[in-house]
Amino acid sequence: MHLTPDERWELIEEIARRTLRFGNYKHTLKDAIGDFTVKPATGIPFAIAILFVFWSVFTSFAALMTDGFMIKIFDNHWLPWLQQNFPGGPGNWFYALMVDVGQRQGSAIVASESCFDSFGVLTSGLFLPIGVVLPAIMIFYLMLSLLEDIGYMPRLAVLIDTFLHKIGLHGYAIIPTILSLGCNVPGVEATRILETKKQRFMMMTLLAMFIPCGAQIGIMQKVIPQYIGFIMLYLFVGYFLYGFIMNKILPGKTPEILMDVPAYQKPLVKNISKKMWMRTAGFLREGVPFVMLGVLIINVLYIFGIIEFMATAMAPVFEGWFGVPRETAGPLIAALLRKDLAIAQLGAIEMTKYQMISAVVLVTIYFPCIATFVMMLKESGRAFLGSLLALMIVVFTYGGLLHLIWKLMGVA
């Protein structure tokens, strides 16, 4: 049946009259809360409060689980059992690789007292991802899934939209950013929600450089809790500084955000548990094998003197430009596999407060871990070469800038 435009509109109006009912709108408490949390004047303080609670619960739960349970299980039971029953013993190369490199005292090698110090594949290789990172990852994903299911995340995107427009992104960018605080891999994958190639390129590059994953944060909480505030501040500044620069350099436009903000709803246990399981299982599949492999490779490189050779060769850059000890060569290699493993290694190197902050920032921005590397290559294709170029430029400029700041302050 062929209808003219006027006839179509008449038909639409007739259907609407027969199917729609109009009544008096009642402003409910849920509507009031929704308005309160999306308007800048009230929504921004509310968002800050939510993020503060998020961070407080995250750090408290992670510390409680690691210090209260995991350390006791690994250090009091698992490590002694391996030291007593694994073939070989102190001085044996295979035992050192798998269980305990030992602590050298003069000419003797003494057994380590903790899995964190032993640095064996079956000790540190399991303790770091399961004893330290897993509790942090679980509470992070629980709280994130809760906020998603309630319907708060779209409101956070609307609130931060104007701010992110300053660096060529829009409010949707907060979603991959927050996901990357759990793991960079799903964060990079989530950049698909951004409309333009420019935005996706910028977002992937910034995530790889300036957003530490939950595993890194968990290790920081264990090794250098007193410095986390400084480190996160420098990463936050770098995120916006280099985002602003890339926005000015890269061609392309930033479209306006168009988002449906749903009403708040009651969270469903089924949804939250399913999201937690998928994300945690993903970490266990990718995190544990890479940490164990990383410990093995680093130990082999130490045995054959390759780390020492690289440390000596790169000493002028490490000590002169970045202001950190040459021993950071080992953690930088480990960062190719897992950055949390690299930060754990930094904790064993004697450094000043300012060197430690610079070294952790350097490891974070230096290069994406292998899992993030593969995901970036998959998502961006040839544009990944541009990301690598940006990474190298940022490492040398921002790492050198931190050293310069310490010099000007007279502490380096």
Phi-psi domain of 120 (left: phi exceeds 0; alpha: psi -120 through 50; beta: other):
beta
- Torsion angles phi and psi, residue 181, rounded to 5: -70, -20
Dihedral sign from CA coordinates of 255, 153, 339, 405: positive
pLDDT of residue 108: 67
Has residue 337 got a pLDDT over 70?
A: no
* Contact present, 186 and 282 (Cβ < 8 Å): yes
Find the helix or strand (DSSP H, E) in which 110 lies: strand 108-110
What is the predicted pLDDT for the residue at 307?
76
Name the DSSP class of 47.
H
pTM: 0.74
pLDDT digits (tens, 9 = 90+) for 78-136: 999 998 888 877 778 888 889 888 776 666 677 888 887 788 889 988 888 888 878 88
- Residue 327's H or E segment, with its range, is none
Which tokens go with 47? 């968002």
152 in Cβ contact with 30 (< 8 Å): no
Residues in CB range of 248: below 8 A, 6 or more apart: none
Convert the pLDDT of each residue in 5-41 to its tens digit. 778 888 888 888 888 777 676 777 777 888 888 888 8
Residue tagged 């509790």 (tokens): 135
